[in-house]
Structure 1
Amino acid sequence: MELFFDLVFVLAFIQVVALMEDDFTAHGVLNGMLALALLWSTWSIYAWLGNSLQARVGLIRIALLFVAVVTLVMAVAVRQAFTDIGSIAFSGPVVFAACFVIVRLVHLALRWYAVPDTRPRIVLLVAAPLFVASVLLFSAAVVPQRLFHDPWLINATQTGLWTLAVIIDYGPALVIRSWGWHIISARHWAERHGLIVLVALGESLIAVGLTSSGVPMTGPLIAALVFTIVTAAALGWIYFDVVAIAAERTLIQNSVQHRVAYARDAYSYLHLPMIAGIMLLALGLHKVVTIIKDDELHPSAAHLESLGLYALYGGAALFLLSHVGFQLRITRLLRRIIWPRLIIAVLLVALIPAADQLPAVVALGLLAAVCVSLVITEVLVAGGRRKELREAALAEDLRPEGP
Structure 2
Amino acid sequence: MRRGPDGLLRRLEEPQATYLELFFDVVFVLALALLSLGLVKDLTWSGALQTLVLLLALWSVWFHTSGCTDRLDSKLPQIQLLVLATMVGTLLMAAAVPEAFGEQGLLFAGVYLATQIGRHAAAALLLRGHEAATAFVRSLFWWAVSAVPWIAGALVHGTAREVLWVLAVAVEYVALALGVPTPRLGRAYMRTTEYAISAEHQAERYRQFFIIALGEPILVTGLILSRSLEFERVVAAVVAFVTTGLLWRIYIQRAGSLLAETITAASDSFRALVRSLYAHLVMVAGVVTVAVGAELVVEHPLGHTRPAWIVVVLGGPALFLAGRVLFEYAVFARVSRFRVMGIFVLVAISPAAILLPPIAVGVVPVMVLAGVTLNDSARIRRYAAVTPSPPQ
TM-score of the superposed pair, with normalisation by structure 2: 0.85
Residues 152-167 of structure 1 aligned to structure 2 (within 5 Å): 155-167=158-170
| CA contact 1:237–1:375 (8 Å) conserved in 2 | yes
Range that drifts further, 13-22 or 35-44: 13-22
The 1:55/1:79 distance shift into structure 2, 3 A limit, reads same
Task: Indicate the residue corresponding to 1:174 in structure 2.
Answer: 177
Deviations 1:113-137 (A, max 9, x none): 2574248876554223212322322
* 1:360 paired to 2:368: no
Change (3 A) 1:46 1:119: closer
Q: Distance in 1 between matches of 2:127 and 2:314?
A: 43
Distance in 2, matches of 1:122 and 1:187, equals 20
Instruction: Give me the whole-angstrom Cα distance separating, in 2, the residues matched to 1:326 and 1:241.
Output: 11
Q: Is the 8 A contact 2:197 2:270 kept in 1?
A: no
Aligned-residue offset at 1:219 = 1.5
RMSD across aligned positions (CA): 2.2
Number of aligned pairs? 358
Structure 1: which 5+ residue stretches go unaligned?
85-91, 145-154, 293-299, 394-403
Query: Does residue 2 in structure 1 map to residue 12 in structure 2?
Result: no
| Higher normalized helix content (fraction of residues) | 1
Mapped to 1, the partners of 2:129 and 2:281 lie a distance apart of 30
155-164 or 170-179: bigger deviation = 170-179
Cα distance, 1:10–1:59 mapped onto 2, change above 3 Å:
same
SS at 1:143 equivalent: coil
Match of 2:130 in 1: 117
Question: Do structure 1's residue 128 and structure 2's residue 141 form an aligned pair?
Answer: yes
Closer, same or farther in 2 for the Cα pair 1:160/1:56, shift >3 Å? same
Tell me which amino acid in the other structure corresponds to 1:47: S
The match for 1:260 among 266, 270, 276 is 270
Unaligned runs of 5+ in 2: 1-19, 180-186
| Number of the residue aligned with 2:204 | 191
Cα deviation, 1:86-145, whole Å, max 9, x if unaligned, reads: xxxxxx11111121012112221243125742488765542232123223222222234x
CA distance in 2, matches of 1:361, 1:183: 48
Superposition deviation, residue 54 in structure 1: 1.5
Report if aligned partners of 1:47, 1:192 keep a CA contact under 8 Å in 2: yes
The 3-state SS of whatever aligns with 2:355 is: coil
Q: What are the superposed Cα offsets for residues 317-354 of structure 1, whole Å, 9 maximum, x if unpaired? A: 1111121112112325xx5x701111111101111122
Alignment of 1:107 with 2:122, yes or no, is: no
> 1:371 aligned to 353, 369, 375, which one?
369
Q: Counterpart of 2:383 in 1: which secondary structure?
A: helix
Q: Secondary structure at the match of 1:83?
A: coil
1:289 pairs with 2:283: no
Equivalent pair of 1:281/1:311 in contact (CA under 8 Å) = yes
Aligned to 1:226: 238
Native 8 Å contact 2:325 2:339 kept in 1: yes
